[in-house]
Structure 1
Amino acid sequence: MTQGRSIRLFLVDGTPNGLLTAEIMNWTGHVLTGPRSKLSELVQRPECGRTGIYFLVGPDPDNSLRPLVYIGESDDVGTRLKQHNRPEDKGGKDFWEKVCLVTSKDQNLTKAHVKYLESLLIQNAGQVGRCKLINGTAHEYINLPESDRADMAFFMEQIRTVLPVLGLDFLRESFGNKAKAEPSDDAGVDSPRLYMQITKQGIQASAQEYEGEFIVMQGSTTRVDWVAQPGGYGALFAQLCEEGVLSEPEGKVRRFTKDFAFSSPSAAGAIVAGYNVNGRTTWKVDGSGITYGEWQDRQVSAAAAAAAAPE
């Protein structure tokens, strides 16, 4: 079992939508995040005068599934953010609505460190594939001593731990990448192998839940078209087809070209079926045939019984 960790969050102005700081015990890093509307307050804070990494995050008007992200570094983050806040025709960036900056409490991050971190983070974000990077390609910075490179690798892992807690998921490891690195495909998943089938249409899909996301596996098949009334998950179905997550029609079906994460079993089931479904009943446990909902209920009942049992 993974060891627990403590993250300290502080609402700077006492509101959940304002400035927020985050720190991990025994980590020298300090995270500050907030909406663009609070930039005038954010740049006045002492963290903004330090050397650090920053992330600009905003929606992609052409893709509701992935945010736009810019990853940058500076030895004076506040000045750089003011530049990015200018209109685009004056050298700024218009897309972003949220900013997150990471500095060091002991102020030991140097320009070389953050350039190396920037390179690692751009590469990682590209590999994970949860966002569209504005940066383009990452530059290679390899002129750090070996000990410093190890320190920055650890620093990056802490960034990847704390950002999802702040609602920034673009560095969080995807199921496909994680499964390749684990000795077992089932390592770290939250459910047994699940399947869904519509025999008349020749549809067969497999899935697992992983860290709160419902992952439909590469090779799973779906209906060729969305057959329900417009609305619901119909727009998502069309977008997955347009982006190539679902293949061109292969007879009566389309095929998932890669593992893909959904927010719920019902969202995944709707894309497979081509119409809205209850994912708790349409997905079934491989080998037993019970529904996913029944399996979850048994898990909860067993845990409750174990907790109530005398020592």
Structure 2
Amino acid sequence: MNPGRSIRLFLVDGTPNGLLTAEIMNWTGHVLTGPRSKLAELVQRPECGRTGVYFLVGPDPDNNLRSKVYIGESDDVAKRLKQHNRPEASEGTAGGKDFWEKVCLVTSKDQNLTKTHVKYLESLLISIANQVGRCELLNGTAHDYGSLPESDRADMAFFLEQIRTVLPVLGFDFLRELTKPSAAVSTSPAIPVSHSPRFNLEVPRYSISAQGQEIDGEFFVLKGSKARAEWVGTERGYQGLFKQLVGEGVMVAQGSNNLVFSDDYAFSSPSAAAAVVCGRSANGRTSWVVEGTGQTYAAWQDQQLNSVTPEPEAE
């Protein structure tokens, strides 16, 4: 089992919806985040005058399962954030869009981050966000800053891992690793991977035959799985997600009766996965069964709970 880690969170104004700072033991980084409505207070913080990277985050009106994100860097983050907040900022840039509702910035407590360091970090962060695909990234192509000395690159690799650890804790998951079942291991050695057995969902009447697997809390439907050709359920539920996956080419037509998954796709729950596969609302806890045994997902999960030996009580 991977050893636990401590993250220190501090509510600056004592409210859960205000400014928040986060730090990890033995890491020189410092994270500050807050809503755009608190921007006037945020830019007065001393860390906003330092060199760092920042993230502007907001909802995607065309896809409520993803966020829009802009990643930037500056040696005076407060000044840059003020520029992004101006209504007259040019269209086509993060500043000219009213998409962002939250801001998150990462600086260094020892102030040893240089302009070259944050440019390098920005480049890596843009590349990772593009690769992971959990958000609509508003940046252009990441610049290559490979001229950083080897020792500095090693320091920034560690700094980057800490950013990827702490941001999901704060509700920003656009850098969180997406480890597909088709990948043998995690691409990040600092992030452990846990996975379930494979599950099957079969509905012979509609030629539905899908395979799934749960990895680190996300339920994947595997590439090649066959789903119903159209949504036949109510307009509520997962109809929007079904149409989205068809529109994005995640599910493509195969004959007149089926759609087939062109890649592994992560769902928030077994029921969401089952609904999209079946084209209607479905209980994923009973629809998915363990490959080779026929045990339902619910029974398998219950078995995992029953196999846990309770800790002995201290006398």
Provide TM-score, normalisation by structure 1: 0.94
Is 1:83 the equivalent of 2:83? Answer: yes
**CA distance in 1 between partners of 2:82 and 2:181 (Å):** 36
Matches within 5 A, 1:1-311: 1-89=1-89, 92-176=96-180, 179-182=183-186, 188-304=193-309, 307=311
**CA distance in 2 between partners of 1:55 and 1:37 (Å):** 15
Structure 1 residue 249: deviation in Å?
A: 4.2
Return 5+ residue gaps in structure 2 as ranges.
Answer: none
CA deviation vs aligned residue, 1:39-67 (integer Å, no higher than 9, x gap): 11100100100000000011122222221
Aligned residues: 306
**CA distance in 2 between partners of 1:127 and 1:250 (Å):** 31
**CA distance in 1 between partners of 2:3 and 2:88 (Å):** 45
**CA distance in 2 between partners of 1:292 and 1:252 (Å):** 27
Q: Aligned AA for 1:70? A: Y
**CA distance in 2 between partners of 1:250 and 1:158 (Å):** 47
SS in 1 for 2:214: strand
Are the counterparts in 1 of residues 66 and 135 from structure 2 also a CA contact under 8 Å?
Answer: yes
Structure 1 pair 88–230 and aligned structure 2 pair: CA distance change class (3 A): farther
SS in 1 for 2:308: helix
Are the counterparts in 2 of residues 34 and 99 from structure 1 also a CA contact under 8 Å?
Answer: yes
SS in 1 for 2:219: strand
Structure 1 residue 238: deviation in Å?
A: 0.8
Give the percent of matched residue pairs that are identical in Structure 1 and Structure 2. 67
Where does structure 1 differ by over 3 angstroms across 4 or more consecutive aligned residues?
A: 88-93, 180-183, 306-309
Structure 1 pair 291–308 and aligned structure 2 pair: CA distance change class (3 A): farther
Q: Aligned AA for 1:135? A: N
**CA distance in 1 between partners of 2:241 and 2:88 (Å):** 30
Greater shift in the superposed pair: 68-77 or 243-252: 243-252
**CA distance in 2 between partners of 1:265 and 1:229 (Å):** 19
SS in 2 for 1:236: helix
**CA distance in 2 between partners of 1:83 and 1:220 (Å):** 47
**CA distance in 1 between partners of 2:20 and 2:3 (Å):** 25
Are the counterparts in 1 of residues 199 and 212 from structure 2 also a CA contact under 8 Å?
Answer: yes
